[in-house]
Amino acid sequence: MDAKEYDPIRERRRKARISTAILLILLVVFLAWMYRYWPEEHIVDHFFAALQQQQFEKAYGIWMHDADWKQHAQQYTQYSYNDFFRDWGPGGEWGAIKSYKIYASGTPKGGSSSGVIVEVVVNDRYEHARIWVEKKSKTLTFSPF
């Protein structure tokens, strides 16, 4: 008896708000899924940019996630700067880095992983460089996969 009169305009607005909210939530989830490896890709991008500019000491600092690595180089004897320069310098496997493009990234199949593999096209070569980025320490290494 005291029920409100049905208002089709109000009901249409309500449905539009609900639909918009659902679409926004789906968009946010989609974008979060698409960019879930962005931090690791960003680090690898900085690494290859430093190599392209032939700033090998800066690139080594990115590789080790230690910008002040020269202050305590003795901590990095397992993969020293000289070894790094042999691998990534102009005489290394990839030669002088003229161009690069992040191709793909992901985690290995088979459960949770401590890192992300970032695949990079270097100098338009068919074979891609695969860089492992540790999620917690943000250090780089060659991909074990």
Question: pTM for the full model?
Answer: 0.81
CA distance 81 to 100: 22
Torsions phi, psi for 97 (to 5 deg): -80, 110
Integer Rg of the chain from CA: 24
pLDDT confidence of residue 70: 87
CA angle 101, 133, 94 (to 5 degrees): 45
Q: How many domains does the chain have?
A: 1
pLDDT confidence of residue 63: 93
Per-residue model confidence as pLDDT tens digits over 2-12: 777 777 888 89
Whole domain around residue 114: which residue ranges?
Answer: 38-142
State both tokens at 111. 């459960």
Domain assignment of residue 3, yes or no: no
117 membership: H or E segment, kind and range: strand 115-122
Domain assignment of residue 136, yes or no: yes
pLDDT confidence band for 60 (50 / 70 / 90):
very high
Domain assignment of residue 90, yes or no: yes
